[in-house]
Amino acid sequence: MPTSHAPLPLQGVRVVDLTAVIFGPMATQTLAGLGAEVIKVESLEGDIIRYGGHTRSPGMSTVFMNSNRGKRSLAIDLKTEAGRTALGKLVATADVFAHSMRRRAAERLAITYDDIRAIKPDIVYAFACGFASDGPNRDLPAYDDVIQAASGLASLAGAEGAPRLIRSIAADKIAGLFLTQALITALLVKQQTGAGQYVEVPMMECLAHFVLLEHLADASFDPPRGGDEGRPGYQRVTSASRRPHRTKDSYIVLLPYTTGHWQRFFKLIGRDDMAEAAWIADPPERSRRVAELYEMIGEVTPSRTTAEWVAALREIDVPASPVNTLDDLLDDPQLRASGLFEHYEHPSEGRLRGLASPVRYSGFEPVSGAAPRLGGDGAAILADIGYGAEEIAALAADGIIAEG
């Protein structure tokens, strides 16, 4: 069990976070959960995702709150000299600086790596971008839908030749995991060597890497073997027969995978002839005929209810699951027992349900906290870096900071 009073691993690390939407904020929220102080620096209008989706009050959407818990907010106009001066003073106290602006915007605001390391030479500087800086698309705008299309993900998600976007902000979140890994790695290097560095995490390249890990397939050979066999695409996964199967009352996904799985499944459905077939015990041959096997599954699943199939398949240890809806997840016995959902009080938004860290550590327990209101911590943050009460009041009066 976690030691509740153990120090968090990133305690004492200060992160200046200029990322927006989901890609960057998801990563920096993970750092906050590990004990880092994450200061979210926003424009006076705030992160655009504050206004997307369901809200109780303006600027506090559920998507924003679920990806910015445990942070503090400084809303400041970086187009002004006074705003940039304040940011520079904040950077001087930081260990990490992350942003997701396009390169030209970063140059206009003087927040390039050269600008930031001139203030803090050992800074870990992370650029969460759409496309890698040495490619022709480096200056193009990039959002989740665009990257799903560009990376091949939408093509894979489609059916019968028609591409389809996955009904999740998948590209942002997958790239966010890459960014989390990159930030923690760079912090570890800094701990070991004392040196900061530039870290670039491009969504397109991250998603292409994610997609092609299995789908590079025969194109992994250089040169490819040619013909249909030489094309990218992992056959088991791209097969149209790989799908949820209709049962008597709903849908199920089941995946006999090993030789033992297939043999036990065929015995369950009374096909001892298939269970004893030589090719079922031959993984390469079984892989080549996987579409045929999946069609056999689809032929028999309508004969039982989903609950009946799940009970029978779990009895013989063959992987299977009902197809849960979003509503089902809220009352899923596994998620309820493992504590994924946590209820907490937000200072302005009242009683909320949030997501606890799904990762378990025996030495400490990640923290959550609440998402900040726009500029809600501005005065305290500025005071912490040396601004007096009159200076802070003047910045507010001049419209350079917003106070939530």
- CATH for 245-322? 3.30.1540.10
pLDDT value at residue 5: 67
Domain ranges of the chain: 14-210+361-402, 245-322
Answer whether 209's CB lies under 8 Å from 174's CB.
no
What is the 8-class DSSP label of residue 7? P
What's the pTM value of the predicted model, to 2 decimals? 0.95
Can you read off the two tokens belonging to residue 119? 């203030």
Q: Give the whole-angstrom CA distance, residue 93 versus residue 13.
A: 10
**CATH topology agreement for domains 14-210+361-402 and 245-322:** no
Beta bridge partner(s), residue 72: 39
Q: Are 339 and 329 in contact (CB under 8 A)?
A: no
Q: Which residue in this structure is represented by tokens 């445990």?
A: 70
CATH of region 14-210+361-402: 3.40.50.10540
Residue 227 confidence (pLDDT): 62
Strand partners, 354: 342
pLDDT tens for residues 335-386? 999 999 999 999 999 999 999 999 999 999 999 999 999 999 999 999 999 9
pLDDT score for 2: 47
Task: State how far the alpha carbon of 116 is from the alpha carbons of 111, 119, 237, 397, in Å.
Answer: 6, 5, 45, 28
Q: How far is CA 180 from CA 31, 96, 175, 202, in A?
A: 8, 12, 9, 13
Separation CA 139–CA 173 (nearest Å)? 21
pLDDT in 10s for each residue of the chain, 404 residues: 444 568 999 999 999 999 999 999 999 999 999 999 999 999 999 999 999 989 999 999 999 999 999 999 999 999 999 999 999 999 999 999 999 999 999 999 999 999 999 999 999 999 999 999 999 999 999 999 999 999 999 999 997 789 999 999 999 999 999 999 999 999 999 999 999 999 999 999 999 999 999 999 989 998 887 665 668 999 889 988 999 999 999 999 999 999 999 999 999 999 999 999 999 999 999 999 999 999 999 999 999 999 999 999 999 999 999 999 999 999 999 999 999 999 999 999 999 999 999 999 999 999 999 999 999 999 999 999 999 999 999 999 999 999 88
For the chain, counts of helices (H) and of strands (E): 19, 12
Rounded to whole angstroms, the Cα distance separating 389 from 399 reads 16
Cα–Cα distances in angstroms (integers) from residue 354 to residues 17, 153, 160, 199, 263, in the given order: 22, 28, 38, 30, 42
